[in-house]
Chains A and B, each alone.
Chain A
Amino acid sequence: MRRCLLMAITRKTVVYLGVAYLFIGLALAFREPSISIFVIPIATAFLYSSLFSSHAHPQLRIKRTLNPPRSFGGESINVALEIQNTSGDHADQLYLEDEIPESLSLDKGTASLLLSLHPGERIEHRYSISAPRRGRYLLGPMMVHLVDDLGFREYSETIPGRDQVLILPKVENLKSMELRARRVGPWPGSVPSRTVGHGTEFFELRPYLPGDDLRRINWKASAKQSRLVANEFETERVTDVLLVVDCSEGALSKLFAYDVEEFEVSLAASLCSQLLLQGNRVGLLVYGQERTWLAPAFGKRQLLRILSALAIVKGGPAMVPIGYAVESIAAAVLPVRSVVVFVSPFIGDDVVDAVLSTANVGYNVICFAPTESTIENEPESKSLARRILATERRMNLRQVISVSRFLPITPETSIPILLRRIQPWRPT
């Protein structure tokens, strides 16, 4: 972005000129040359403004620092502005205004200030902002306005430089989430692997062998069988998970009394956080106005990548069918028999087809579906439309339930309690 300097004559100048010409007019009309003397103060003021106001090109260096640059919303972000006059001239009556998006609220301090800077002088100004909603916000550019002493001329300059504030979706601590996957990775994790080894879950009994740890002896079973019997445990490994968040047009349906998009994003963020915390490889596919996907990966960096992607999710009509998107991405990045988690309201045939085809390929599918809510005092015409949509959705859900682990959910539902319902499930 280039610097843009604009100079303009103010309305005051025009009024003063008008007054000056009024006096000249009166002098000419009434043949009174003395009246024209009244023009001299105005002309002198103009000359003073032209000759002694020398801040036409204020050279300012502005550095904006955000702390922290990412936030989970609700907390204050401190903005530190470092302003330096790099020119050799004294910059007087500088009015600076840092452009803040309307959706951000100013918590402390002010984003506009009036300054006077000596050559080379540097000042630091601080203010705090907060955002009520997730998203990507841009701060800046800095607008600089200068008015000369008498307010005859004003300069506006845009100093380029925008900084990004990322408000991440809030993450709920889910405490535990036990997945059952038919395919597990080689690394230890929390997903039961149906193989004997080191783990915490009991798997089977076998005769005690010399060299076995004495703590593994099952004394009750040994007493019954009159020989030493040892416990075998099930190894827990990690798995690969692809989380599909459906924010397409259907997700924005009026079928729900709450903001489904926000709810889905928040749920997806919490699920990803928990799955990554358990050591799984997690990928993301966001299906909405803008399609975003992240290949499965481990760790905190992946969580940050996922949260950053979820922060900018925008619901709306998508260009490609969701089935095609899921199939092509899953085939490229996710081994068969891994877990695919759908977070969708399941409105429309596309998403149902996507679930069916994903399950048919051999993935373990888990579906989280926001539950529709009743709206009171609704007009008859709208109510009918809602009922038709709800019936259509119920038909979709029947198909989804037949091939996946289905979990209906509302903003009031406790996710940790809901997740316990996954535990008894073992894929066939």
Chain B
Amino acid sequence: METNVSPQIFRWRILRAFSLMWLALTLIAVTLLLPTALVLFALIVVIFSGFTGGIAVLTYNSKLSIVSIVTAFGLFLDLLGVEIASKTVESNLPLTLLGFVMLLFAVESLTATTKRPFFEIPERGRQVPISLIDMFIEQSFTRTSRVAILCATCYLISMSTVYLSAYAALFQPALADVSLYVIVVSISLALLILLRED
């Protein structure tokens, strides 16, 4: 049986490094959207969230990854709060939405890489067949790319909804508020589908 698992471990490390980099990128993107007055506070949050995220990825600590995600989401809510206060939600929507979608992807990739894989369990890990490790890493890459495509699609759908509702509102002003109800219905529908008995 082949025993050299270095290429597999290297690929797995690339994925982990990518998730960490994406988290850092998201935090920086959200910070850049914040007003300059809040930059110092944002930097503290970014450092804390980045540090806990880094430790979580390095040590496969899922609790720390939750702390990191919650902190990052708190930063995003701050941004939203600032925009609500300054009534600039609508004008900054494309960028804020991009930040949110980036955050969603960061959550997904961090979740995938902070769970200790079976081949890195001490004592047992090295005895796992390479084909299984390959399969696992292949699945992780496929899943990450699928989620990335999904997040990009989510962003496009959301932006299309924004522009289409704005365009429709030109002809029928009452439709301006309809989006809210459409979304509520769509969530209910999604929930219904989610709860269906297979």
Contact = CB atoms under 8 A, between A and B. Distances in A.
Contacts of A7: 197-198
A46 B193 CA distance: 9
B59 interface: no
A51 B139 contact: no
Interface string B177-193: 10110011011011101
Interface stretch (B10-18, B38-46, B49-57, B145-153): B145-153
A33 B176 contact: yes
Nearest to A7: B198
A106 B189 CA distance: 47
Interface in A146-164: 149-153
Interface in A94-138: 106, 108-110, 112-116, 125-126
A110 B121 contact: yes
Given A33-B177, A34-B90, A92-B139, A24 B124 contact: no
B32 to A, nearest CB: 19
Interface in A31-54: 32-51
Contacts of A36: 179-180, 183-184
Chain B interface category by residue count? 35 or more
Contacts of A153: 194
A50 B193 contact: yes
Contacts of A151: 111
B129 A125 contact: yes
B198 A113 contact: no
A113 B132 contact: yes
Given A93-B143, A115-B135, A41 B183 contact: no
Interface string A274-297: 000000000000000000000000
Contact of B179 (A20, A33, A93, A126): A33
A384 B124 CA distance: 50
A33 B104 CA distance: 21
Interface of A: 7, 9, 12-13, 17, 19-21, 24, 26-28, 30, 32-51, 56-57, 92-93, 106, 108-110, 112-116, 125-126, 149-153
Interface of B: 73, 80, 84, 89-90, 93, 97, 100-101, 104, 108, 111, 117-118, 121, 124-125, 127-129, 132, 135-136, 138-139, 143, 146-147, 150-151, 153-155, 157-158, 161-162, 176-177, 179-180, 183-184, 186-187, 189-191, 193-198
